[in-house]
Structure 1
């Protein structure tokens, strides 16, 4: 699970960097949009990590409880 959380954070940063870099080269605003989208990616990655941590921390269901959660 730890690798999943690290991967989610790095993926958010990478996607934010890619989008920001692409828009910067398109509009010639280097490095403004890259910084903005890296911060958005960081926020998205942290949000996803917190959701994963919540899923890990949930108490297991009762035996025979097949809700699939």
Structure 2
């Protein structure tokens, strides 16, 4: 009976060490391509795409309206099209560099990273404490 308990505790310890070594992306039986990391990457890609398309369209629209009002045919539309593209590239650069904390996305991503790091550290500390406690129990029980 005691031998079975020792084997079970050794297996549990081994399982916890394997989980800690694999990291959080391998827990829960999901493939590494699934989960929040993939979702946030896809969301970031969609945001970048939308920002590029919208800024170019808004620039072209402003240029078209000014051309219609001032009678300067395609000149202002072309100028504002390029200004819209430049604004889009600037927005994409801000998003990728994490400089868009004004809208909260950069701050949210950084907070999530800190939380995940703290959880991983807590799991590692807990696993180490359990392992040392089990070793102490084994030593005191056998001695």
Q: State the TM-score bracket (shorter-chain normalisation).
A: 0.7 to 0.9
Deviation readout 1:1-53 (Å, 9 max, x if unpaired): 10100100111101001100000000010100000000000000000001111
2:118 equivalent in structure 1 = 63
Q: Which runs of 5+ in 2 are unaligned?
A: 1-43, 99-105, 120-143
Structure number with higher relative contact order (C-alpha < 8 Å, ≥ 6 residues apart): 1
Q: How does 1:15-26 map to 2 (within 5 A)?
A: 15-26=58-69
Q: Which has the larger radius of gyration?
A: 2
Give the TM-score, by structure 2 length: 0.40
- Match status 1:44 vs 2:87: yes
2:48 equivalent in structure 1 = 5
Q: Which runs of 5+ in 1 are unaligned?
A: 65-69
1:67 equivalent in structure 2 = none
Q: How many pairs does the alignment contain?
A: 63
Give the TM-score, by structure 1 length: 0.80
